[in-house]
Structure 1
Amino acid sequence: MKKVLILGGGFAGVEAAIFLRKKGYSVTLISDRDYFYIYPTSIWIPTGEAEFEDICVPLKDLQEAHGFELIIDEVKEIHSKERRVVCANGEYRCEYLVIAIGSGKVKHEGSEHFLSICGKPEESLEIKERIDALIEKGGGKIAMGFGGNPKDPSNVRGGPAFEVLFNVHNELKKKGIRDKFELTFFAPMEKPGARMGPQALKMMDLFFNKLNIHKHFGKKIKRFEADGIVFEDDSKLESDFTMFIPAGDGHPVFRNSDLPLNEAGLIKVNDYCEVMHDYDETPEKYNVFAIGDSVALDGPDWRAKQGHIAEVMARNVAFNIDAIAKGSEERKGYLDHLNILCVMDSGDGAAFVYRDNKGGKMIPMPVIGHWLKKGWGWYCRNSKLGKIPRIPGM
């Protein structure tokens, strides 16, 4: 039986493990934490609508459901030409290597002064503690935003920043203390959220005005301080608590590897997610693949990394590995599947956002949208555990 080694227990890694096991391969998954974290639904932890345990699926449960080998360890080095991986507690080899350990974060001066909903999962609990402290205090200034990476614009997470702020607004409103807080959304680009399309951008502006959320756009961030954010012109946005999502860049482990990287330190792959080694022009010769946030994503200017794209890559890699093993020339690529798709939650409703090459749209879904996203979280957990059928393509 061919042996596949998967690095990473997120959306991409778990999906690859599930579909490779369906095809009968011996799969070993290495993760530095023992649970799969459903990041899109972690937005409810800061407001107390979800508990931390609600967002975690033990990898042991997924292992038992699908029959892959699980190793909890930290990857230190990747020697892709040899398909050899060095971890903190061991060294591993395989016939096929799938890299899905995500990305690193763009470094900012004063990063100790903000928390991120897309950072380490435990930070979601710290965000809740900081917001609860301000509520107990009786009010304050809260700033939330996200950053960009000019070297790789696709590696940006803006949606969760919007969602957490909207949910905090809704929670404060329910408590009858919204007027005691000043909420501000900030970003270094002139039009944050522009990749969703002009209609969505216009609707976001209406949201901000309706909810009395201040905007601070178009100035590069110089540093973060305990009481706010300093921008390139030395102006300062005061904040009692700052939530910020840095843009992604290459994972630190990639620097200890022989992987081909782009300017941002992300792995170069082709449409089939084969790592494009510069040894020669035959990437399939090395049987090394990269998926999800680890890769330098090709495609249109509006492209963005999302969980469903990571899962498309993972399913394609399972297909492509099987095709290679069988000597078939057939391959599946991810470029035809690029789109932006999300349900942007506000706590009391949501908006359906979709973008492809034909344009973008944002459709408000009062009340029902919130429960639709809740339902997706339930579906994500239970379908991955094999307790309910998978919806085709999801």
Structure 2
Amino acid sequence: MKKVLILGAGFAGVDAASYLRKMDYDVTLVSNRDYFYIYPTSIWIPTHENEFKDVCVDLKELQRAHGFKLIIDDVAAISQAENSVTLAGGEIINDYDYLIIAMGASKMKAPGIENTLSICGAPEQSLKIRDALDALVEKGSGKICMGFGGNPKDSSAVRGGPGFELLFNVHNMLKDKGIRDNYELTFFAPMAEPGKRMGPQALKMMDTMFGKLGIKQHFGKKIKQFEKDGIVFEDTSKLESDFTMFIPAGDGHDVIKKSDLSTNDAGFIKTDDYSCVLNDDGSMSNIYAIGDVAALEGYDWRAKQGHVAEVMAKNTAHNIEQRDNGGSDFKGYHEHLNILCVMDTGNGAAFVYRDEKRAFMLPLPVIGHWLKKGWGLYCRNSKLGKIPRIPGM
């Protein structure tokens, strides 16, 4: 039985482990935390609609469901030349046939970033956001600013959707409490048209939604630094804020940048369309990179999303099996590149879709919120093998 070592237990890593176990591989999963975190539903933790435990799936429960081996530790180093992985605890692993890197990305660090919290950062930050919002509710008034940034070296390393969702949910929460008029809500971003990658229709609808909800917009100015009481921009202007939620752009993982793996300018691992890291001579190595850790090639509007990571995971398991059986029917991720999400607003949602042929946003009043809630339950139970996976997902 061939051995596969998987680094990272996010959407990509967990799926790769489950698929490869079904193919009877000996799989070891390494994670720096003991739970799988459902980031898309974490937007409801700050508004008390979800508890932290509702967004976590115990990795030991996933281990029992799929039969992989589990190591809870940080990855300290990766060496392609030595075919080895060193863990923070000191263990060196080098007895694997294939290595799948699914460690996610690091975050760009703007000056004063410690004065912000991110809904896409460490899971514990969702609780800190909740506490900060609770303090402002108790205060009775305040200025709340939320936004996201981009990476000039890799346009795919941006995640703005959760920022939109969280602000809409906060608006809805304050409105339900009857105190919305006491708060100034502002969405900010350094780019002139944040959300443009979703398509022109979506961009127009977002602008309309901001106006309808009384949410101010502050776009098109580069961020110089974050301070405790606001955001300072490159032209020295300042946006005052009692609480700032900011989602930094993704950056190459620190461990990857220190490794001998080939990366793009932003530090993401270069692969072919089949998610395989190539040797210097162009041949396939025994290393695959999937999810946010990998350089995503393709359209200008491409974005790193969970469903793309899941496609990479499924295809990688298939491609490894093909190699071991002498086949060459490899599957790539590029044909599956699209933007797909249900953008929640707290009392409804909008279905957003874009591929190379079309781009649209479809409002889903009321039912959209419950559709996303239902997806959260589906995600948990399908990964535990309690319900079948929806074909294509």
TM-score tier (shorter):
over 0.9
* Cα distance between partner residues in 1 of 2:28 and 2:225: 41
Q: Contact between 1:103 and 1:251, CA under 8 Å: does it hold in 2?
A: yes
1:249 alignment counterpart = 251
Q: What CA deviation, in whole Å up to 9, does each residue of 1:291-337 have, x standing for no partner?
A: 00001100100000100000000000000000111111110000000
Indicate whether 1:237 and 2:239 are aligned: yes
Q: Contact between 1:76 and 1:256, CA under 8 Å: does it hold in 2?
A: no
The alpha-carbon deviation at position 88 of structure 1 amounts to: 1.2
Within 5 Å, which residues of 2 pair with 1:66-215? Answer: 66-89=66-89, 90-93=91-94, 94-215=96-217
The alpha-carbon deviation at position 392 of structure 1 amounts to: 1.2
The alpha-carbon deviation at position 131 of structure 1 amounts to: 0.4
One-letter code aligned to 2:382? S
The alpha-carbon deviation at position 257 of structure 1 amounts to: 1.0
Q: Contact between 1:83 and 1:288, CA under 8 Å: does it hold in 2?
A: no
Q: Please give the secondary structure, in 2, of the residue aligned with 1:243.
A: strand
1:34 alignment counterpart = 34
* Cα distance between partner residues in 1 of 2:220 and 2:278: 36
1:216 alignment counterpart = 218
Q: What CA deviation, in whole Å up to 9, does each residue of 1:77-106 have, x standing for no partner?
A: 001233210001211121100000000111
Q: Contact between 1:6 and 1:99, CA under 8 Å: does it hold in 2?
A: yes
* Cα distance between partner residues in 2 of 1:323 and 1:65: 25
Aligned residues: 391
The alpha-carbon deviation at position 255 of structure 1 amounts to: 2.3
1:356 alignment counterpart = 355
Q: Show structure 1 runs of 5+ residues with no match.
A: none
Q: Please give the secondary structure, in 1, of the residue aligned with 2:81.
A: helix
One-letter code aligned to 1:361? F
Q: Contact between 1:341 and 1:353, CA under 8 Å: does it hold in 2?
A: yes
Q: Please give the secondary structure, in 1, of the residue aligned with 2:278.
A: coil
* Cα distance between partner residues in 2 of 1:107 and 1:238: 20
Q: What CA deviation, in whole Å up to 9, does each residue of 1:228-282 have, x standing for no partner?
A: 00000000000000000000010001122110011001100110001134x2110
Q: What CA deviation, in whole Å up to 9, does each residue of 1:165-216 have, x standing for no partner?
A: 0000000000000000000000000000000000000000000000000000
Q: TM-score under structure 1 normalisation?
A: 0.99
Q: Contact between 1:115 and 1:242, CA under 8 Å: does it hold in 2?
A: yes
* Cα distance between partner residues in 2 of 1:191 and 1:255: 31
Q: TM-score under structure 2 normalisation?
A: 0.99
CA RMSD of aligned residues (A): 0.6
* Cα distance between partner residues in 2 of 1:126 and 1:310: 27
The alpha-carbon deviation at position 374 of structure 1 amounts to: 0.1
1:259 alignment counterpart = 261
Within 5 Å, which residues of 2 pair with 1:303-318? Answer: 303-318=302-317
* Cα distance between partner residues in 2 of 1:174 and 1:28: 47
The alpha-carbon deviation at position 390 of structure 1 amounts to: 1.1
Indicate whether 1:45 and 2:31 are aligned: no
Indicate whether 1:23 and 2:32 are aligned: no
Which stretches of structure 1, 4 residues or more, deviate above 3 A after TM superposition? none
* Cα distance between partner residues in 2 of 1:389 and 1:182: 44
* Cα distance between partner residues in 1 of 2:278 and 2:223: 34
